[in-house]
Amino acid sequence: MRSLRCRCSKACSDVKDALRKAGVRAEEDLSDNYTPKWKYTQWEMRGVPLRIEIGPRDLAKDQVRTVRRDNGVKADVPRVGLIEHVKELLEKIQRNMFDVAKQKRDAACVIVKTWDEFVEALGQKKLILAPWCDEKEVEMDVKRRTKDEVGAAKTLFSPFDQPEIPEGKLAKKWTYWGKSY
C-alpha cells in the first residue's frame, strides 16, 4: 500500500514539474488528512481552472484524469502528450469562461432613453446604458429619486465607444448606471 502511495506521489510530482517546466503554473496536493472531495472543493474555491487527478488505476494505464472547473467535464488523458493537452485545455477553458461572462454581461445590459425605462431596468437589477449630462448634481438627484423606489442608482463608467446622443437631449455622453449597494 505504501509503495503504491509513493508511486502516485512521484507521478504527481513528475507531472507538476513537467507542467512548470513548460510554463504552466501547477501545484500538487499530496495531503492525506482530507477526503478527495474536500480537496477538490478547496482548489475550486481558489479558482483553479483545471484539476489533474492521478490514482492507482491511472498509474496502471499510464494516464491522468483531467477535470475542468468551467463545465465539470472529466477526461482520461495519456501521460504522453499531457503537457500539450493541458495547454490546449487551459486555452479552451479561458475562452469558454470569457464567452460565458460576456454573454451574462450582455444579457444584463439594457439601453434606455427614458426615465420610466431607467427605473424599470434598475428594478430588474440591470446594467443600464443611458444618456447623461455628466453633472454631479444630476447624479445625486437620480440617486435620491431612485433610493426609495427601486434602490439608489449610481454611475459606474462611460464606454470609450460612444453611441450617438439622441436628438433633443441635454446629455453629453452615454454612461453605465447600476444599483448602489
Report the mean per-residue pLDDT for the chain. Answer: 92
Residue 80 DSSP SS3 = coil
pLDDT of residue 109: 95
CA distances from 50 to 21, 24, 56, 75, 98 (A): 17, 11, 20, 11, 15
Q: Tell me: the pLDDT tens digits for 99-133?
A: 999 999 999 999 998 999 999 999 999 999 999 99
- Domains of the chain plus CATH, in order, are 2-102 (3.40.50.800), 112-179 (3.30.110.30)
pLDDT of residue 84: 96
**What pTM did the predictor assign?**
0.74
